[in-house]
Amino acid sequence: MTNPAKARVATIWLDGCSGCHMSLLDMDERLLELAQRAEIVYGCLVDAKEFPDNVDVTLVEGAVSSEEDLRKARVVRARTRVLVSLGDCAVTANVPGMRNPFGPGPVLERAYLENATLNAQVPTGAVPALLPEVLPVHAYVPVDVFVPGCPPSADLIFSVVMDLVEGRQPAVEGVARFG
């Protein structure tokens, strides 16, 4: 059901709060306009298990915190033409990065030992191992477009995506701001 006339757009969510995805949905009826020009081929709104090949635009929300995040970021980069860091977590590490002055050890201890009322233990399996530092996406893979904001407004996301699917350089500088 691939439509060659439409751009293949994906979204992915690393270490973030999903707020950027919420803001994406805040475009409301403009989602329909977007749907005319783009096909969402992967993301939490789409039932696809494997990140597909030949994606035109991928919006990445969230910072790279764990080995799983890093694996995803590399896969996405390899299969995407234009990679967009969406929101402050992806762009600066933002709130997830607040653990960086302390490192993952003390953070895990605080969460799983000090504050636990039952069965205090740091999980070792089932959840991905944390990286020593939380870093923005471009610390690991090249990023083409940066859209800061916490979250970026629906207007900004819409204009950026439309610019990209229509082959224009998105106007972000001087418009978007951190926070």
Partner 1 sequence: MSDEVRTLVIDGRDVAGASGQSILSVARENDIEIPTLCHLEGLSPVGSCRLCMVEVEGTSRLVASCVTAVEEGMRVTTRSSRLLAYRRRVVELLFTERNHVCSVCVADNHCELQELARSLGATHFELAPLHPVAEVDATHERFVLDHNRCVLCGRCVRACDEIEGAHTWDIRGRGTTARLVADLGVPWGESTTCTSCGKCVQVCPTGALYEKGRSVAEAKRRRPYVPFLVARGQA
Task: Give the nearer residue to partner 1 in terms of CB position, either 10 or 150.
Answer: 150
Task: Count helices and strands (H / E) in the chain.
Answer: 6, 7
Q: Count of residues binding partner 1 (CB under 8 A)?
A: 30
CB 38 within 8 A of CB 161: yes
For β-strands 55-61 and 80-86, DSSP reports them as parallel
User: At its nearest, how many Å lie between partner 1 and the CB of residue 169?
Assistant: 12
**Close Cβ partners of 29 (under 8 Å, ≥ 6 residues apart):** none
Determine how many CB atoms are found less than 10 A away from the CB of residue 104.
18
User: At its nearest, how many Å lie between partner 1 and the CB of residue 53?
Assistant: 27
Interface with partner 1, residue 59, by CB under 8 A: no
Residues 82-121 that bind partner 1 (CB under 8 A): 85, 88, 91-95, 97-98, 100-102
Residues 116-155 that bind partner 1 (CB under 8 A): 133, 135-136, 138-139, 143, 146-148, 150
Interface with partner 1, residue 172, by CB under 8 A: yes
